[in-house]
Structure 1
Amino acid sequence: MPIRLLTPSEAHARQQAGAYLIDVRAAHERALGMAVGAHGIVREELEADAAQHLRTLDAEVLLICQRGLRSRQVAEFLETHGYRNLSSVEGGTDAWDAAGLPMLRADIDVDFSERYSRHLRLPDVGLEGQKKLEAASVLLVGAGGLGSPAAYYLAAAGIGTLRIADDDVVDRSNLQRQILHTDARIGVPKVESAAIALSALNPRTKVEAVRERITSDNVEHLLEGIDVVVDGADNFPARYLLNDACVKLGKPLVYGAVHRFEGQASVFDAGRHRGEAPCYRCLFPEPPPPEAAPNCAEAGVLGVLPGVIGLLQATEAIKLLLGIGEPLCGRLLQFDALSMKFRETRLTADPQCPVCAPNRAFPGYVDYAAFCAGG
């Protein structure tokens, strides 16, 4: 016979009369709010050993999930195993809440719950993961082509503090790819323009605008209190400096670069994994000559290309902060926009690397401009 469906009000009345209400959702879903008095038993656990949780075959059992589908399916499963007094709550917890019935909620505000609702429903993120993101600090070097999409999605994801370092101002030629900025903000410092855009998107994210070019003198100060570094720089001296500082201080570095129609991304985490993970110098022991690596202003770049690479960088940063998935550590992901193909190259740590080799003392910062110029 069909499973009995109850409205939330009917189910609440039966619960008050002694019926056993079971919330079959996963723990990360229940953390966002559940009916007061409900017993949280994950669907898989209940179906695997119903006798452990249900007293008798005749006990009155009410089942509830998010919207009503899973609870009805569990009820149908239990019925085939001899349970005879089963009901499913129509509309699930959403309808229970909408009906104004008592709810037990986690200690989070409405804005947090609504803004990050899609993250909160992911088992690999959930409430605990979202709070990790809110407590995290990310340094983004460069508020240009790579920094723009990376910053947008890091702020949207709920990164608590986003420190952005850039000493440039918005130019009309930037707008083709640097989507943080607008025509109305031409001439405005990029970090100031970025703060305006990101605060409008997510006022919960604290944007620390640092109008400075990264140098050997300020790099360690910029890295203070930072969990992950995102390299949105457009020049080799900054990349080598960032790499060396991250190795010294044990910070993961999310790398990205673009050139005309091609881009690449990786994660360099040698500071925390000496001898196992490579650093940027393991991949590029020496910079190419300037004529072999012109910048975007000289060589041009497809406007959407930094968007693709910047999004990959934001993805890697979020994964690192949450401790989920497999980061691009030891892998260089290359993208060709014209053929729409990705290619992966395996990277290994250089045992003779002057910066990240095991047991090698930090050699100190060098004159990176001279180093990259071949001086």
Structure 2
Amino acid sequence: MPPARDNQPMSPIVTPQQAHDRQRAGALLVDVREEHERASGMAAGAVACAAADLAETFGDPGREIHVICESGLRSARAAAALLERGYARVFSVDGGTRRWRADGLPMVVPEGDADFFERYSRHLRLPGVGVEGQRRLESARVLLVGAGGLGSPAAFYLAAAGVGLLRIADDDVVDRSNLQRQILHGEARVGQPKVRSAAAALSALNPRVRVEAVEERVTSANVDALVDGMDVVLDGADNFPARYLLNDACVKHGKPLVYGAVHRFEGQLAVFDAGRHRGSQPCYRCLFPEPPPPEAAPNCAEAGVLGVLPGVIGLLQATEVLKLLLGTGETLAGRLLQFDALAARFRETRIPPDPDCAVCAAGREFPGYADYARFCTA
């Protein structure tokens, strides 16, 4: 018999076989586990009910009630609480559903989406996610620009997490030199468009996720259509014209932008949410009003990059996307996180909004898209 807590009465214990026999004689069997736990199977004939609702649901204090959970701990607490509320015939099933199943007693699988509860069971246990949050992820829409070093790990984990739609835009093809870091792709898909390779890999990982493969370079002509309807934009581009374009489009459309960049052994990321928070949050231009000269910021093909570094930054970008979609935690909005892989050190820098920013200043009308290629090489 489990020990009582404080002044709580101790609940009598019955074996699963005893509970089953009494259930057949008219006793009520109540499963107090969470919905995602019951999805894999529950004792036949049991009624699903959250522990907090037991007293309100079963109003007859003289009714014989048997409470079952996964292992017997929660059911003992729930049964003790019912005894304290005046229910006289309450029993906890020893060993819970695990022992019920092991003893060969009848089980049923509740109707519903079993794949959802099994696939996301670890998310469903989290207080910041749960069933409601996971359903929110399933209805979410994310634009990923770039299916390369940053987009690969970000897309993999966003798909695994259950983001409902991933729109991936990239006009490049898989090259053998990509495979050192772009983990969405494999040897067999060298020469294929990256977005098609990405769609194949992500669909194999999680067929519940819909992937829109957009085999195009992001330009001023198509960026509005790409951003339209998205909840979050993830910047996995490796060039400054695309970064400034995405920033300006996200300010215009009021979308949060999750920025990331890598160079040799160093990476950085931030969340720019000025479109929804004019005057209180910065945009990318508040941090970098003008791009550096091309010779000061070569791309990965020119400067090289440690293969695992985009993995670190891409995973952190995916983390920020999930926090934004779930509305939980503190995002990197207004903060630049820099990572030095050789020193294994992170450094954080605050980014204040620029009251004179050409794009996101409070009250300023959107100036229109610039000639970003010329702007970034001037």
Bucket of the pairwise TM-score, normalised by the shorter protein: 0.7 to 0.9
Mean CA deviation greater in 111-120 or 291-300? 111-120
Q: 1:268 aligns with which of 250, 266, 272?
A: 272
Quick check: 1:351 aligned with 2:355?
A: yes
Mean CA deviation greater in 76-85 or 249-258? 76-85
Contact 2:146 2:235 in 1 (8 A): yes
Question: 1:113 is matched with which residue?
Answer: 117
Deviation of residue 194 (structure 1)? 0.8
SS at structure 1 position matched to 2:47: coil
Contact 2:36 2:118 in 1 (8 A): no
Question: 2:49 is matched with which residue?
Answer: 39
Q: Give the number of aligned pairs.
A: 366
- Alpha-carbon distance change, 39 to 185 in structure 1, aligned in 2, over 3 angstroms: closer
Deviation of residue 71 (structure 1)? 1.9
Aligned counterparts of 2:283 and 2:25: Cα–Cα separation in 1: 64
Deviations 1:285-321 (A, max 9, x none): 1111111111111111111010011001111111111
- Alpha-carbon distance change, 349 to 303 in structure 1, aligned in 2, over 3 angstroms: same
Aligned counterparts of 1:129 and 1:123: Cα–Cα separation in 2: 9
Mean CA deviation greater in 194-203 or 244-253? 194-203
Aligned counterparts of 2:221 and 2:167: Cα–Cα separation in 1: 17
Question: 1:342 is matched with which residue?
Answer: 346
Aligned counterparts of 2:58 and 2:47: Cα–Cα separation in 1: 15
Contact 1:31 1:127 in 2 (8 A): no
Aligned counterparts of 1:53 and 1:304: Cα–Cα separation in 2: 56
Quick check: 1:14 aligned with 2:52?
A: no
Identity in percent? 69
Contact 2:40 2:118 in 1 (8 A): no
Aligned counterparts of 1:15 and 1:275: Cα–Cα separation in 2: 64
Q: 1:282 aligns with which of 286, 300, 311?
A: 286
RMSD between superposed Cα atoms in Å = 2.9
Contact 1:22 1:40 in 2 (8 A): no
- Alpha-carbon distance change, 96 to 286 in structure 1, aligned in 2, over 3 angstroms: farther
Quick check: 1:217 aligned with 2:229?
A: no
Question: 2:305 is matched with which residue?
Answer: 301
Q: 1:144 aligns with which of 145, 148, 172?
A: 148
Contact 1:263 1:305 in 2 (8 A): yes
Question: 2:8 is matched with which residue?
Answer: none
Contact 1:262 1:334 in 2 (8 A): yes
Q: 1:363 aligns with which of 341, 360, 367?
A: 367
Deviations 1:131-172 (A, max 9, x none): 211111111000000000001011111111111111111111
Superposed counterparts of 1:1-375, under 5 Å: 1=1, 4-8=12-16, 10-15=18-23, 17-19=25-27, 21-25=29-33, 36-42=46-52, 60-75=64-79, 85-93=89-97, 99-101=105-107, 104-105=110-111, 107-108=112-113, 110-374=114-378
Deviations 1:29-72 (A, max 9, x none): 67888664343223xx88xxx8998865x864422223323223
Q: Which amino acid aligns with 2:66?
A: L
Deviation of residue 87 (structure 1)? 2.5
Structure 2 gap segments, 5+ residues each: 3-10
Aligned counterparts of 2:172 and 2:266: Cα–Cα separation in 1: 24
TM-score under structure 2 length normalisation: 0.87
Deviation of residue 362 (structure 1)? 0.2
Deviation of residue 101 (structure 1)? 3.8
Mean CA deviation greater in 241-250 or 19-28? 19-28
TM-score under structure 1 length normalisation: 0.87
Contact 2:223 2:249 in 1 (8 A): yes
Aligned counterparts of 1:341 and 1:173: Cα–Cα separation in 2: 28
Aligned counterparts of 1:247 and 1:318: Cα–Cα separation in 2: 20
Deviations 1:156-213 (A, max 9, x none): 1111111111111111111111011111211111111111111111111111111111
- Alpha-carbon distance change, 9 to 340 in structure 1, aligned in 2, over 3 angstroms: same
Aligned counterparts of 1:123 and 1:116: Cα–Cα separation in 2: 13
Aligned counterparts of 2:333 and 2:365: Cα–Cα separation in 1: 22
